[in-house]
DNA sequence: CCACGGATTGGCT
DNA sequence: GCCAATCCGTGGA
C-alpha cells in the first residue's frame, strides 16, 4: 500500500505554467479528495491537455461562457463539467488568469478509499478483477468513484478538500503521448499523456 | 423559445 | 462493434 502521508501538495506555481508542461508532468502524482470523513486517493495515470488559444476541441476555444468560466481563471482550480446527460469530468486549470487552458483527468489508479469507490460505482464493495480495473479508468468513472460533481466546480486545489500530492513515477515507468480520445476537432494534436502499460489507463 | 450535440458509458447485437 | 441514454449550456430564430 502506498504511503501518502509524507507527500507534499502541489503548490499554486505548479499549475500556473504552460498546459502541456503541466499535463506531461502530472501522471504519477496522487489525486486526493476528502468528503466528510471519507478519503479518496489515486495515482493519475492518464490526462489530456486543452488549450483554448489554439485548440478547437477546448471548451474555452470560443471564449468565456457561464459553463467554462472556471477555465479562464488562474491555474490551480478544478473545472468540472457535465456531459452526455450523465457524466461529470474534472480538469485541472492551468496557466494565468484569462488563458483558458486545462488538463482533463482521464484515468486514475486507486490508492485509498477503494472500497468506498466501489460502492459509489457499483453499489457494492465486492470487487472482482474486471470491476477493479473499471473503477476509475475513464473521466466519468473517476469522477463517479471520487464523488466529484458540479458542486466541486471551481474548487481551489491549494486548499484541503481536493488537491494533488507530488509523487514521482515508479522505476521503469514512462509517460508516452497520443492523440486525444472522443473529440471531433483538432484531432491531430498529440496532447494525451499516459503511463505506458499501466492497466488503469482508459484505452490503449 | 427551441433544437442541437457533446473531452462518455455500458448494454445489447 | 454499435448505439441509445439523458441533461443542459449554448446559439440561432
Check if residue A123 sits with its Cβ under 7 angstroms from strand B: no
Give the tens place of pLDDT for each residue, A87-112.
Answer: 999 999 999 999 999 999 999 999 99
Which pLDDT value is given to residue A176?
A: 97
Query: What is chain A's mean pLDDT, rounded?
Result: 95
Locus of grid cell 502530472: A26
Q: What confidence tier does A1 reach under pLDDT thresholds 50, 70, 90?
A: low
Mean pLDDT of A126-142: 94
Residue A61's Cβ-side half-sphere holds a number of Cα atoms within 13 Å equal to 11
State the cell numbers at A32.
486526493
CA of A65 to C1' of C10 (A): 9
Distance of CA A118 to the CA centre of its chain: 18
Whole-prediction pTM value?
0.95
Contacts of A16 (CB under 8 A, 6+ apart): A74, A75, A76, A94, A95, A96
CA of A182 to C1' of B2 (A): 27
| φ/ψ of residue A174, rounded to 5 | -145, 150
Q: Closest CA to C10 C1' — which residue? A: A65
Amino acid at each position: 500500500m502506498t504511503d501518502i502521508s509524507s507527500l507534499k501538495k502541489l503548490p499554486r506555481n505548479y499549475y500556473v505554467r504552460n498546459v502541456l508542461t503541466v499535463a506531461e508532468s502530472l501522471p504519477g502524482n496522487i489525486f486526493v479528495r476528502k468528503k466528510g470523513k471519507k478519503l479518496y486517493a489515486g495515482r493519475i495515470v492518464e490526462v489530456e491537455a486543452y488549450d483554448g488559444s489554439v485548440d478547437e476541441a477546448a471548451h474555452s476555444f470560443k471564449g468565456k461562457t457561464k459553463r467554462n468560466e472556471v477555465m479562464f481563471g488562474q491555474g490551480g482550480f478544478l473545472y468540472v463539467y457535465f456531459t452526455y446527460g450523465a457524466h461529470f469530468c474534472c480538469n485541472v486549470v492551468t496557466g494565468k488568469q484569462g488563458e483558458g487552458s486545462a488538463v482533463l483527468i482521464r484515468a486514475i489508479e486507486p490508492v485509498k478509499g477503494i472500497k468506498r469507490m466501489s460502492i459509489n460505482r457499483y453499489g457494492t464493495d465486492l470487487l472482482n478483477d474486471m470491476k477493479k480495473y473499471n473503477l476509475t479508468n475513464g473521466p466519468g468513472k473517476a469522477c463517479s468513484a471520487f464523488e466529484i460533481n458540479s458542486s466541486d466546480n471551481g474548487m481551489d486545489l491549494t486548499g484541503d478538500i481536493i488537491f494533488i500530492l507530488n509523487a514521482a513515477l515508479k522505476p521503469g515507468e514512462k509517460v508516452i503521448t497520443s492523440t486525444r480520445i472522443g473529440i471531433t476537432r483538432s484531432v491531430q494534436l498529440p496532447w494525451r499523456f499516459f503511463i505506458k502499460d499501466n492497466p488503469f489507463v482508459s484505452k490503449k
